[in-house]
Amino acid sequence: MQIRAGFELLYECPQPTPMIFNVSVHFTRVSDLVGRDDLAVEPPVPMAAYRDSFGNWCTRIVAPSGRTRVSASALVNDSGAPDPVVPDAKQVSVPELPEDTLLFLLGSRYCETDRLSETAWKLFGQAPTGWGRVQAICDYVHRHITFGYEHARMTRSALESFHDRTGVCRDYAHLAVAFCRCMNIPARYCTGYLGDIGVPLPHDTPDFAAWFEAFLGGRWYTFDARNNQPRIGRVLIARGRNASDVAISSTFGPNKLVTFRVWTDEVPPVQLPLQPEHAGCIDSASTR
C-alpha cells in the first residue's frame, strides 16, 4: 500500500526569526519514499540541514518578517501490516544492555523517573517481565489518562500527567516512557505520521502523533499507550528522549502559528481498465 503524508505550517513573524524544523521522514523509512519529501518554504529563504545527535534530519531557516509557509508532502510505500506483537520478547538485564540504549534508561525533561520510580514499582513490580510488563504499563496509562485536545499543554510532564489524568498523545507517551525506564526497560519517544487506516469511523482530527519504542529481546518494538492497539501505517519522523528532543519546530523569537494542517491518507490503488477478450493475444500465423 501507499500513504500520502504531509503538513502545512503558516507562521506570522513581526521580525526575522530563526527556526529549526524536525519534520523529515526518518532515515529508516527513506527507502520507502517514492520521490522526495523536501521542505518547501514560501517565500523562499536559504535553508541548511543537519543530522542531530539522535540521527534525526533537521532543517534551519530564518523566517522573514510577515507570513512564512512551511510544508512538505511525501508518498510512502508501506507493508500495510499492523504493529508487531511479540509476547515472548524478554527484558534484557541492565548489565547486558547495549551501550547505545543506556541513555534511554535515564530521566529527562518530561520523564521524571526519580519522582515516579516508587509509584512504578508499586504498580508494575508484580507484572510479568519483558513484553508483558510494557503492555501492563500501556494498559494502565491508556486507562489513567483522559484524551482531549482541550487538555494539551506543552509544558506538562509525565508526573503532571499522572496527577492531572488528562492529556494528548505526547502525555500518554511521556508517562509510559517514564514508567518503562523506572522498571529498567529502555524506552524512547517517537513522533511521526499516523492516520486512521483500518480504524472505524469517526476519525480524529489529523495531527502529528506520538508513541514510543521499548527495547526488548535485543531490538526496539513499537508501543502506543494512547491507542493501545496495533495500528497500520506509522511513518516515523524522529526519535529522542522526550518531546523536547523531537519538537516539530523550534522558534527563536516572537511568532504566531496561524495555520496547522497534517494529512496521512491511504492512496487508493490504481484500477486498470478491463481489456477486451483476447486482447494482447498474438495470432501464431502472423508471426511466421
Strand order in the sheet with 66-77: 40-42, 66-77, 2-13, 256-267
13 vs 63: CA distance, rounded Å: 7
* Contact criterion met (CB below 8 Å) for 65 and 14: yes
| pLDDT of 219 higher than 80 | yes
pLDDT above 80 for 159: yes
Indicate if the pLDDT at residue 282 is higher than 90.
no
> Cα separations (Å) of 85 from 11, 54, 172, 270?
40, 25, 19, 31
Would you state the cell numbers that stand for residue 182, as one nine-digit string?
A: 523506572
Is-above-0.85 flag for pTM? yes
Mean residue pLDDT across the chain: 93
Angstrom distances, CA of residue 51 to CA of 2, 25, 32, 60: 26, 12, 19, 11
CATH architecture for segment(s) 94-245: Roll (3.10)
Give the Cα separation of 259 and 119 in Å (integer).
Answer: 40
Q: Is pLDDT at 62 greater than 60 in this prediction?
A: yes
Assign domain 2-79+248-267 to a CATH class: mainly beta
Extract the C-alpha cell encoding 246: 523531537
What is the arithmetic mean of pLDDT over 36-64? 97
List the chain domain ranges: 2-79+248-267, 94-245
Q: Which of 166, 177, 144 is nearest to 243 (CA)?
A: 177
- pLDDT confidence of 200, banded at 50, 70, 90? confident
Q: Which residues contact 105 (CB under 8 A, 6 or more apart)?
A: 94, 97, 181, 184, 185, 186
pLDDT at 284 over 60: no
Q: Under a CB-based contact definition with an 8 Å cutoff, are residues 246 and 19 in contact?
A: no
| Residues present in the chain in total | 288
Please check whether residue 111 is in contact with residue 241, taking contact to mean a CB–CB distance below 8 angstroms: yes
Q: What is the pLDDT of residues 183-196, one digit of tens each?
A: 999 999 999 999 99
